[in-house]
Amino acid sequence: MDRPTDAHVRPSGVIALLTDFGSSDYFVASMKGVILGLFPSAVIVDLTHEVPPFNVQRGAFILWKAYKWFPKGTVFVGVVDPGVGSSRKGLLVVGRNYYFVGPDNGLLSAAAREDGVELTVDLSVLAGGASVSSTFHGRDVFAPAAAMVARGDDPSSLGPPAEISVALEMGYASLEGELLRCRIVYVDRFGNAFTSLTHDPPWPLGRTLSVELGSGPGPARRVIGTYVRTYSDVEPGGVAVLMNSEGHLELAIRGGSFASTYSASEGTDVLISPL
C-alpha cells in the first residue's frame, strides 16, 4: 500500500470518533464495522457520541479540547453533519501531529487550525461512489477515509487538494482594565460554564466579582462570585470564578450547577467586574 511521505506525521493506528448519533441506534456501530473491515487492527476510541443533534459549535469545541491528549498520528473522525448530502465538502485534514476527517462545516476547524494544517484533501471522489448513501457519509465516506489513512495510505490519494472553507470562532474576550467581556462557550455535565477567556485575568485571588449574564434565556442576571484557585476555596453553594484545567475562565457553584441555577447557556454574554 502507499505510505505517507516523510512530510506528514505517521499514523498511530488510533481512530477517535465524535458524533451526534447517541448510543441507542446502530449508526456508530456501522462506522466501526466499516473501519475494522478495512483496517482490522485499528484501535477505535469514542470521544463522545452525545453532542446535541446538529450542534456543530459544541462538537467543534469538544474536538478542539480533546485532540491534543491523544498519541500523535491519531485520526479523528467528526460527524455532526446537518448538511449531509448537500454541496458541502467532506474533508481530510492532515495536521502537523494529527489527522482530521469530517464535513467542511466548521466542525474540524478549531482543532485543525491549532494543530497546524499541512494538507487538506477533498473527499468528494469517495462521496460520489455508486454505493454511497446521501444521508450517511459518516459510514460511507468518513469511516473509510479514516481507516485508509490510519492503515498508512497516502492522504493525497484520497482526493484533490482543498481548503477548509468554514471556520468557527470559539467566542470573543476583551479586557478593559479589570472589566472583562466574554461569552460562555461550553457547559459541562456538572453545570460549570467555560467562558471564552483563555488567559489569566487581572484580578488577585480572593477578589469579589460582579458577574452579569445577558443575551441568553430569561432576563439579565447578576451574580456575586469570588476569583479563586479551586472550587473548595469558596463555601458550599458559593460561586467560584477560576481558571480551569483547559485554560478557560470558568463560572461554577461549589456542589451545584451554575448553568441550571442561573439559566446560563452556551452563547450567553458575560460581563465581569471587581467589586
- Whether residue 9 has pLDDT greater than 80: yes
Cα separation of 94 and 108, whole Å? 11
7 — pLDDT class (breaks 50, 70, 90): low
This prediction has a pTM of 0.92
| Alpha helix (H) residue ranges in the chain | 27-38, 56-66, 109-115, 124-127, 137, 143-150, 258-261
Q: What is the pLDDT of residue 1?
A: 37
Exposure string over 151-181, b if 16+ CB within 10 A, otherwise e: bebebbebbeebebebebebbebeeeeeebb
Q: What is the pLDDT of residue 8?
A: 82
Cα separation of 36 and 98, whole Å? 20
CA 24 to chain centre: 22
3 — pLDDT class (breaks 50, 70, 90): very low
2 — pLDDT class (breaks 50, 70, 90): very low
| Alpha helix (H) residue ranges in 4-74 | 27-38, 56-66
Cα separation of 126 and 128, whole Å? 5
Measured in degrees and rounded to the nearest 5, phi and psi for residue 127 equal -65, -20
Instruction: Report the chain's mean pLDDT, rounded to a whole number.
Output: 94
- Whether residue 193 has pLDDT greater than 80: yes
Tens of pLDDT, residues 14-71: 999 999 999 999 999 999 999 999 999 999 999 999 999 999 999 999 999 999 999 9
C-alpha cell at position 84? 449531509
